[in-house]
Amino acid sequence: MITAILFFSLIAAILLVVLASLKTLQHFGIALPLYVSTVQAVNENAHAMPMLTDGRQKFVVTTRNKINGLPMSAQNKQDIYRFVLGADDKLAKLLQSENVPVALTGVTFGALTVTFRLRLREFSRQNLDKLMKMEGLISQVLCVESVRLMQCAGWIDCEVSSPVRATVSLDSLAHATDGTTVAMGVDSNMQPATVDISQHGLIAAIAPSRRGKTQAIRTMLYLLKRANPSLNIVVVAFKTEDWKAFESCATLIVDSDELKQFQTWLLATMYKRAKHPESNRWIVVFDDLANLLTVNPELQNSILQFSSLGAGTGITTVVSTQFTGKDSGGVAMTANATARLLFKPSSNMQGARDGGMARLGLDQLSTQKGDALLVVDGDTVRIATSMTDDRLIEQLHGSVPSRDWLHKESQPQHNYGALPTSIGVHPMEEAIEKLNGWLLDDGTFDWSVGKFNNRSEALRRLGWSNNGSGVEKLKELEYYIFERQEARQRPRH
């Protein structure tokens, strides 16, 4: 008898030690099989609960394992675990009361969303229509801000706002960024969603204030510059506080007079690169477009040309604006934006204009910063964007575009859309005079490709620095000389 008492006392002491250890581990945020007591209670009462899932035990284990892999604290994992189990119960009761036979086949987790994958048990038009109209009811039952129901091949995704925000890792986005392909954020499965900027002349980020569009562009530029230090970045901004960190790796334009010179220079550069392609890439950002247009209305026509020529010349234009419409340059300005980052709009009507296509479900996004739809060539994915700290941006290194547009001699005068038919007095004639007779010597200039055979000697004779700025000015001079010679050789009528 005494032996039995001692045995059971020892067992009880061991159990107390184990339970105390579990509490200690949870206190320090170590991931455990989540909320053991909840799982046990659910399993014991599973027969009395009207669940959507056919295999309750398998669902519990799979969900627990997925949540354990999320980048969040142990407490947040417990919160989202309780939410999913409770949502399964509430959805089952709601759908049963509405007489819609549905099975829950899986759950996925994004940074801002939880997605329940539903499948009709009985396929009929009536059942499908009833289910697709239940977004409002589901929102009320689950007490969430947003619900999106989307038809897929054989199932319906019920995407709801997550009770916990997961961290979007910059390292994971950087790992998915390579060359001209950049990760814009993570999708509803926590996988990077990417865009190849070389395929798009115009990328637009559209949202009311405080939705996260500027932060999303900052992160995009950070990732691209980190992967491509030689990338040329120019940011035209109405206000500068969001862009000061980029001063060491990009050129910032805030003066309206400089912007006008830059527009002329950029158009000339695009037309030149259309004839003589160059390998270096440029990204030009116009932040807060509506306000930029108030001080520089002619920017509207320039952006239309930028978006048309950009993809073929290695220059991608990015615009951010609070809305599309008459006061932000007209819908035509963003009509050529083949990649769009869209956040929750101020109204359904505005959302239809911003999206450029029907039934995107922009009104069903949440107001959380970074909750957006990425629309690329008509394909849509919901993503969570990331924020980048100024200190990380300030650590970037690489080339910074020189302000050649401020040097009048570097701007060839073009009749845009057509080649020059005559050459008159031009500031670059002064540069040609500095070369004296050297330019006319045999072998000095390669007329087949339109450049000096010895660029270093040309820079020395001109008195220009042998660096990035000097070489760019020399390229402009070579282009001018080549065009002048072609114009002189054309027959006159």
pTM: 0.70
**pLDDT for the residue 487:** 60
Of 13-17, 37-41, 261-265, 380-384, least confident by mean pLDDT is: 37-41
Does residue 331 have a pLDDT over 60?
no
Percent of the chain with pLDDT over 90: 34
Q: What is the pLDDT of residues 19-52, one digit of tens each?
A: 555 444 444 333 333 333 333 333 444 333 445 6
Long-range contacts of 56-60 (CB under 8 A, 24+ apart): 59/88, 59/104, 60/85
Which range scores top for mean pLDDT: 73-82, 325-334, 340-349, 352-361? 73-82
> What's the confidence (pLDDT) of residue 337?
83
Q: What is the model's pLDDT at position 436?
A: 61
* pLDDT at residue 41 in the model: 39
Average pLDDT for residues 444-458, to the nearest whole number?
A: 80
Sheet with 371-376: list strands edge to edge.
192-196, 181-186, 379-384, 371-376, 339-343, 202-206, 315-321, 282-287, 232-237, 251-253
CB under 8 A, 24+ apart: contacts of 68-72? 68/31, 68/33, 68/34, 70/109, 70/166, 70/190, 71/166, 71/167, 71/169, 72/164, 72/166, 72/167
* pLDDT tens digits, one per residue of 109-164: 999 999 999 999 988 999 999 999 999 999 999 999 889 998 888 899 999 999 99
When mean pLDDT is compared across 7-16, 215-224, 347-356, the lowest value belongs to 347-356
Answer yes or no: are the C-beta atoms of 372 and 342 closer than 8 Å. Answer: yes
Amino acid at 275: K
Q: Which percentage of the chain shows pLDDT scores above 70? A: 74
Q: Give the tens place of pLDDT for each residue, 372-415.
A: 999 998 888 999 999 999 999 999 988 888 888 986 544 444 44
> Could you tell me the pLDDT band of residue 481, with boundaries at 50, 70 and 90?
confident
Confidence of residue 228 (pLDDT cuts 50, 70, 90): very high
How much is the average pLDDT of 280-297?
A: 88
Give yes or no for residue 196 having a pLDDT over 90.
yes
* Nearest-angstrom CA–CA distance, 479 and 471: 12
Helix (H) or strand (E) holding 264: helix 256-275
Mean model confidence pLDDT for the chain: 79
Kindly report the backbone phi and psi dihedral angles of residue 247, in degrees, each rounded to the nearest multiple of 5, phi listed first. -60, -25
d(CA 23, CA 317): 54
In the DSSP assignment, the letter for residue 167 is P
Q: What integer pLDDT is reported at residue 30 of this predicted model?
A: 35
Q: Which domains does the chain have, with CATH numbers?
A: 31-161 (3.30.980.40), 170-393 (3.40.50.300), 418-489 (no CATH)
Task: Please return the burial class of 399, using the count of CB atoms within 10 Å of its CB with bins 0-12, 13-18 and 19+.
Answer: middle
Q: Return phi, psi of residue 398, to 5°.
A: 140, -175
Residue 355 pLDDT class (50, 70, 90 cuts): low
Contact present, 485 and 451 (Cβ < 8 Å): no
pLDDT of res. 304: 83
| pLDDT on residue 10 | 66
DSSP assignment letter at 311 = H
Dihedral, CA of residue 48, residue 50, residue 51 and residue 55, to nearest 10: 50
Above 50 in pLDDT, residue 419? no
- State the CB neighbour count (10 A cutoff) for residue 465: 11
